[in-house]
Every structure is written in structure tokens, then in C-alpha cells.
Amino acid sequence: MSYVAERVAPHKKVRLVDFVDVIPKSASGKILRKDLRGRPATA
């Protein structure tokens, strides 16, 4: 995160990194971004 913060504009900085075991995908194989956003953040 600090590496990216030094190289990008303030509004593009990474604020949170969350590792998941399984990425939710639709039947066609596309990543379901709405399901990733809806997950509770682990702290």
C-alpha cells in the first residue's frame, strides 16, 4: 500500500486490502463485483 501511495494521486490510493478464499463468479465466469463489495470487511 505504501508503494502505491508514493506513486499515485491521493484519490487513487489503496485504502483497504482484503484477501478472500473464493472469488464469487456468475455462471458465465464473470466476477460478481457487487458480491465482493457487499462482504463485511475483516479488520
Q: Is residue 17 part of a domain?
A: yes
3-state secondary structure 1-43: CHHHHHHCCHHHCCCCCCCCCCCCECCCCCECHHHHHCCCCCC
Q: Determine, yes or no, domain membership for 42.
A: no
pLDDT of residue 43: 57
- The count of domains in the chain is 1
> pLDDT per residue over 1-43, tens digit each?
899 999 999 999 988 888 889 999 999 999 999 988 877 766 5
Q: Quote the pTM value.
A: 0.52
Domain that holds residue 16: 2-37
